[in-house]
């Protein structure tokens, strides 16, 4: 299914259209005033340090400023510091031999014996800068802090204020998980993420390498894991060669040499890599490669669908040995202490139906299927312990007896973490409700595809990893927190960066900064400086949190509209109505605007005189006010469960259209649509593959019964439990462009404001109709 984004954009009342100008081209100013070469940087560090004291005086960093380091560890840090400045296009100090005088000095020196190995001090004085730590890790984080200060500035000379920082992290586990199984990232892309993590003082990279859709790590004893398990055929047009129509596989895996390269790259940035090999569920790709480890005889292929699958590995001794052999290769590649074995969403239907699994349960004394999973986890834990590793798994592993040394990653809320800590297990807090970065972060129509619900920057920042109800004696078991980015809907690296940043900055502050010093208002005040750093290193962070939102109340009879603008983060908004691009001197929005129609409104969000994102353009015309897109419609109340932002299945390469849809009940609602003078309703609909596995949630998927062979479009007034206004039969297929337009005449006398419900009847799987836009057509 193919179409143009431009066509879709024209129909949006509240669409946000990037102008040619980027924020880098907007008026810029340091956190001060005057000539950039003389501006003293106002520190806007992120994460905020534990202690910072500003003193009198200043020190200028410029090309040629000497950098001194003595010893191998300090020299490694100094070299990385200079390289990062070069990556950001900042003045590069010159590495000098020995300790020397003046300039910047990195030193490993003994500190308090109880200090964290990640602790450091940074002293900026009028005669030089000194970064000290007892361990190379701490010295590196001191270098990152200094890098942030310099990267905050502009020009050939960066003037830093004299200050003294004593700093150490709150938690030892400050993590980010990347799913490379659903969508694959190149080694260079993974390295870019590792650099970004390092510059946020994050220290744990959890690498999700196996799942139903792909096996991404080379295992030499089992080559079919990557030969077969490393490829899938995407659903719909995305899985077809655009020239021949032949199947086009989506493939990718990391060789063991590439794994070693990534692990070394991470270690140089003081990041530990935790690999994940998922068992007994999320194993379709592995079973497809080696059917003998599966529970059923039906041949499988790596899946092109998303969701929860029934496929489990079996419980035979040979399968246990298979995964011990796999882990035997894994532990040689990853020197860190932990190996993640998954354990989540292992639907037990196949085990329950298997006579052989039931017999095996009796043989090992497992009272139920969850205990059988616990038997597998215990076996793998002993194997890993024998190789000097610790097992970590998702919180489902708590549902069986858990080895004492196992660590729990709590994703289904914090309850699993509480239970684990009280049982004496170490815990990493990673609840899906606060730390899943593939969830949408704003209501903007410019958000890429994503999973249900919205997790805003503020919501991520507000998460507290140590529950107040946890007893003081058990709080030491909370190792820290981790954000997770699953990639079902993250097809491109640009989307990955959009989803991760700046929300990962909020995770970093929670992981590092003392809880008492956290303050969201202060965080948002420092965030614009962080965006400048992102710009400097070419990080494609999300612009949507820095866009203005719009709400419009139109009066068609009067030819006017009342416009309300907003920004969830509270930054200032400047606007124009004369066709010009707004700047810091343009009118500032502070109250709803009454605007004559037609008008084109330009608006942008500003901080410190600088636009934080490209200006947004809102078309306020009579025609636009009669149209709503799927993004600007509501979910039908009480019926529209699990709203997803889904991508079209074609073209095979490049940009694709995006739809908001509910897969449990295909329904959209236009609240308080003004039907006065409206003769008909025109609906543009598309069709995409239905590619979801819902496991035990499948019975909850409902739809209205079809009254004709191919189903209908139904339009109801008064909401989805209201009265039928129009019914239009659906055709067998869309038009050649993958879309169709349906015109539904309204009954005579239809008028007034009503909640319009639009829904498709019948079960059309393996495809589904999706709504693109709705237009009210006047008489």
603-612, pLDDT tens digit by residue?
Answer: 999 999 999 9
Q: What was the pLDDT predicted at 637?
A: 83
pLDDT digits (tens, 9 = 90+) for 346-400: 999 999 999 999 999 999 999 999 999 999 999 999 999 999 999 999 999 999 9
Those residues with Cβ within 8 angstroms of residue 3's Cβ, 6 or more apart along the chain or in another chain: 648, 657, 686, 737, 738, 739
Phi-psi group of 270: left, alpha or beta (phi > 0 → left; psi -120 to 50 → alpha; rest → beta): left
The yes-or-no verdict on residue 641 having pLDDT over 80 is no
How far is residue 329's CA from residue 219's CA, in Å, rounded to a whole number?
A: 7
Q: Which of 204, 225, 222 is nearest to 214 (CA)?
A: 225
Share of the chain above pLDDT 90, in %: 85
pLDDT digits (tens, 9 = 90+) for 135-186: 999 999 999 999 999 999 989 999 999 999 999 999 999 999 999 999 999 9
Catalytic residues: 211, 282, 345
Q: What was the pLDDT predicted at 290?
A: 98
In terms of average pLDDT, the best of 258-272, 440-454, 698-712 is: 258-272
Residues belonging to the chain: 779
Cβ–Cβ under 8 Å, residues 374 and 401: yes
Cβ–Cβ under 8 Å, residues 177 and 483: yes
Q: Which of 24, 132, 18 is nearest to 68 (CA)?
A: 132
DSSP 436: B
Cβ–Cβ under 8 Å, residues 314 and 293: yes
Cβ–Cβ under 8 Å, residues 589 and 627: no
The yes-or-no verdict on residue 769 having pLDDT over 90 is yes
In Å, what is the CA distance from 691 to each residue of 210, 235, 765? 19, 7, 9
How far is residue 675's CA from residue 420's CA, in Å, rounded to a whole number?
A: 57
Backbone dihedral angles phi then psi of residue 752, each to the nearest 5 degrees: 80, 175
* 5-26+544-622 has CATH 2.40.160 classification: no
Q: What was the pLDDT predicted at 429?
A: 98
Could you name the CATH architecture of 173-517? Alpha-Beta Barrel (3.20)
Task: Look at the domain 628-778 and name its fold.
Answer: Jelly Rolls (2.60.120)
Task: Look at the domain 51-167 and name its fold.
Answer: Chitobiase; domain 2 (3.30.379)
Q: What is the CA radius of gyration of the chain?
A: 28
Q: Which of 572, 498, 771, 519 is nearest to 661 (CA)?
A: 771
Structure-block tokens of residue 100: 């020397």
Q: What residues does each domain of the chain span?
A: 5-26+544-622, 51-167, 173-517, 628-778
H or E element in which residue 112 lies: none
Determine the 3-state secondary structure of 158 from DSSP.
strand
How far is residue 608's CA from residue 34's CA, in Å, rounded to a whole number?
A: 13
Structure-block tokens of residue 506: 């909020």
The yes-or-no verdict on residue 59 having pLDDT over 70 is yes
Q: Which of 616, 631, 309 is nearest to 454 (CA)?
A: 631
pLDDT digits (tens, 9 = 90+) for 81-128: 999 999 999 998 999 876 667 899 999 998 777 789 999 999 999 999
Cβ–Cβ under 8 Å, residues 67 and 100: no
Angle between helices 256-268 and 187-198 (to 10 degrees): 20
How far is residue 711's CA from residue 401's CA, in Å, rounded to a whole number?
A: 50
How far is residue 753's CA from residue 561's CA, in Å, rounded to a whole number?
A: 16
How far is residue 718's CA from residue 695's CA, in Å, rounded to a whole number?
A: 34
Averaged pLDDT for residues 707-712: 93
Q: What was the pLDDT predicted at 727?
A: 97
In Å, what is the CA distance from 155 to each residue of 37, 58, 152, 377? 6, 17, 10, 56
Angle at 173 between CA 80 and CA 51, to 5 degrees: 70
How far is residue 510's CA from residue 483's CA, in Å, rounded to a whole number?
A: 11
Cβ–Cβ under 8 Å, residues 135 and 118: yes
How far is residue 738's CA from residue 703's CA, in Å, rounded to a whole number?
A: 23
Angle at 562 between CA 459 and CA 567, to 5 degrees: 20
How far is residue 460's CA from residue 464's CA, in Å, rounded to a whole number?
A: 9
The two counts, helices (H) then strands (E), for the chain are: 17, 40
Those residues with Cβ within 8 angstroms of residue 80's Cβ, 6 or more apart along the chain or in another chain: 140, 143, 268, 269
Determine the 3-state secondary structure of 214 from DSSP.
strand
Backbone dihedral angles phi then psi of residue 504, each to the nearest 5 degrees: -65, -25
Q: Which of 442, 630, 615 is nearest to 544 (CA)?
A: 442
How far is residue 82's CA from residue 362's CA, in Å, rounded to a whole number?
A: 62
Out of 7-11, 166-170, 355-359, 751-755, least confident range: 7-11
Using CB atoms within 10 A of its CB, is residue 767 exposed (0-12), middle (13-18) or buried (19+)? Answer: middle
The yes-or-no verdict on residue 24 having pLDDT over 50 is no
How far is residue 342's CA from residue 345's CA, in Å, rounded to a whole number?
A: 9
How far is residue 26's CA from residue 583's CA, in Å, rounded to a whole number?
A: 8
The yes-or-no verdict on residue 36 having pLDDT over 70 is no
Q: What was the pLDDT predicted at 698?
A: 86
Mean pLDDT of the chain: 92
DSSP 38: G
Q: Which residues are 107's β-sheet partners? A: 132
Q: What was the pLDDT predicted at 652?
A: 85
Task: State the first-to-last Cα distance of the chain, in angstroms, to the nearest integer.
Answer: 33
Averaged pLDDT for residues 489-517: 98
In Å, what is the CA distance from 454 to each residue of 175, 465, 570? 21, 20, 18
Q: What was the pLDDT predicted at 272?
A: 98
Q: What was the pLDDT predicted at 725?
A: 97
Query: How crowded is residue 133: how many other Cβ atoms within 10 Å of its Cβ?
Result: 31
Averaged pLDDT for residues 428-432: 98
Q: Which of 654, 437, 443 is nearest to 566 (CA)?
A: 443
Query: How crowded is residue 715: how many other Cβ atoms within 10 Å of its Cβ?
Result: 22
Mode of pairing for the β-strands spanning 753-760 and 66-69: unpaired
The yes-or-no verdict on residue 19 having pLDDT over 90 is no
How far is residue 414's CA from residue 412's CA, in Å, rounded to a whole number?
A: 7
Averaged pLDDT for residues 404-431: 97
How far is residue 727's CA from residue 724's CA, in Å, rounded to a whole number?
A: 8
Backbone dihedral angles phi then psi of residue 654, each to the nearest 5 degrees: 90, -170
How far is residue 101's CA from residue 108's CA, in Å, rounded to a whole number?
A: 17
Q: What was the pLDDT predicted at 8?
A: 37
H or E element in which residue 194 lies: helix 187-198
What is the largest distance, in Å, between two alpha-carbon atoms of the chain? 90
The yes-or-no verdict on residue 438 having pLDDT over 60 is yes
Cβ–Cβ under 8 Å, residues 91 and 157: yes
The yes-or-no verdict on residue 458 having pLDDT over 60 is yes
Angle at 662 between CA 656 and CA 665, to 5 degrees: 140
């Amino acid at each position: 299914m193919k179409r143009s984004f431009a066509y879709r954009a024209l129909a949006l009342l509240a669409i946000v259209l990037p102008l040619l100008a980027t924020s880098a081209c907007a008026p810029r100013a340091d956190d001060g005033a005057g000539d950039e070469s003389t501006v003293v940087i106002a520190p806007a560090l992120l994460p905020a340090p534990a202690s910072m004291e500003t003193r009198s005086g200043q020190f200028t960093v410029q090309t040629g400023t000497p950098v001194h380091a003595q010893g191998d560890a300090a020299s490694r840090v100094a070299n990385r510091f200079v390289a990062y400045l070069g990556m950001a296009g900042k003045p590069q100090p010159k590495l000098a031999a020995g300790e020397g005088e003046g300039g910047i000095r990195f030193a490993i020196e003994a500190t308090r014996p109880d200090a964290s190995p990640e602790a450091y001090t940074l002293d900026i004085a009028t005669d030089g800068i000194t970064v000290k730590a007892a361990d190379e890790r701490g010295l590196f984080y001191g270098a990152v802090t200094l890098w942030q200060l310099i990267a905050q500035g502009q020009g050939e000379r960066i003037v830093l204020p004299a200050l003294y920082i004593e700093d150490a992290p709150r938690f030892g586990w400050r993590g980010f998980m990347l799913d490379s199984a659903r969508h694959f990232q190149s080694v260079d892309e993974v390295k870019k993420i590792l650099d970004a993590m390092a510059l946020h003082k994050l220290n744990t990279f959890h690498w999700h390498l196996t799942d139903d859709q792909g096996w991404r790590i080379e295992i030499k004893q089992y080559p079919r894991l990557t030969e077969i398990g490393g490829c899938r055929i995407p659903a719909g047009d995305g899985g077809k060669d655009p020239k021949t129509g032949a199947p086009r596989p989506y493939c990718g895996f990391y060789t063991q040499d590439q794994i070693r390269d990534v692990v070394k790259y991470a270690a140089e940035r003081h990041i530990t890599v935790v690999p994940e090999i998922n068992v007994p569920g999320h194993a379709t790709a592995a079973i497809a490669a080696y059917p003998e480890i599966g529970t059923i005889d039906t041949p499988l292929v790596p899946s092109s669908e998303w969701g929860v699958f029934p496929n489990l590995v079996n419980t035979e001794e040979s399968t246990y040995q298979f995964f011990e052999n796999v882990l035997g290769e894994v532990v040689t590649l990853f020197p860190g202490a932990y190996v993640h074995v998954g354990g989540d969403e292992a639907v037990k239907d196949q085990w329950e139906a298997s006579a052989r699994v039931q017999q095996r349960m009796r043989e090992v004394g497992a009272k139920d299927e969850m205990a059988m999973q616990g038997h597998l986890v215990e076996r793998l834990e002993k194997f890993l312990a024998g190789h000097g590793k610790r097992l970590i798994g998702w919180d489902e592993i708590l549902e069986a007896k858990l080895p004492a040394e196992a660590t729990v990653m709590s994703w289904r809320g914090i309850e699993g973490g509480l239970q684990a800590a009280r049982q004496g297990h170490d815990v990493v807090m990673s609840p899906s409700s606060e730390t899943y970065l593939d969830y949408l972060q704003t209501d903007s129509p410019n958000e890429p595809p994503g999973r249900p619900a919205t997790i805003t920057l503020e919501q991520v920042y507000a998460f507290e990893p140590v529950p107040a109800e946890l007893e003081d004696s058990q709080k030491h078991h909370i190792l820290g927190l981790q954000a997770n980015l699953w990639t079902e809907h993250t097809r491109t690296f640009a989307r990955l960066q959009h989803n991760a940043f700046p929300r990962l900055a909020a995770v970093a502050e929670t992981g590092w900064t003392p809880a008492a010093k956290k303050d969201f208002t202060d965080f948002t005040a420092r965030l614009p400086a962080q965006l400048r750093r992102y710009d400097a290193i070419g990080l494609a962070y999300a612009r949507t949190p820095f866009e203005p939102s719009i709400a419009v109340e139109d009066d068609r009879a009067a030819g006017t509209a009342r416009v309300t603008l907003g920004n969830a983060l509270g930054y200032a908004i400047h606007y124009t109505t004369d066709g010009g691009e707004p700047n810091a001197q343009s009118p500032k929005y502070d109250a709803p605007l009454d605007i004559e129609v037609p008008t084109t409104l330009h608006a942008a969000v500003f901080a410190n005189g600088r636009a934080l994102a490209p200006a947004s353009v809102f078309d306020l015309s009579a025609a636009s006010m009669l149209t709503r897109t799927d993004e600007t419609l509501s979910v039908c109340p009480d019926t529209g469960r699990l709203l997803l932002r889904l991508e079209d299945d074609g073209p095979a390469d490049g940009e694709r259209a995006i739809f908001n849809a509910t897969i449990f009940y295909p329904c959209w609602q236009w609240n308080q649509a003004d039907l006065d003078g409206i003769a008909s309703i025109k609906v543009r609909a598309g069709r995409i593959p239905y590619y979801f596995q819902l496991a035990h949630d499948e019975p909850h998927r409902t739809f209205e019964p079809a009254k004709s062979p191919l189903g209908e479009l139904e339009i109801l007034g008064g909401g989805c439990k209201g009265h039928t206004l129009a019914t239009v039969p659906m055709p067998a297929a869309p038009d050649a462009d993958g879309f169709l337009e349906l015109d539904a005449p309204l009954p005579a006398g239809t008028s007034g404001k009503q909640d319009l419900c639009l829904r498709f009847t019948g079960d059309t799987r393996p495809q589904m109709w999706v709504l693109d836009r709705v237009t009210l057509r006047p008489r």
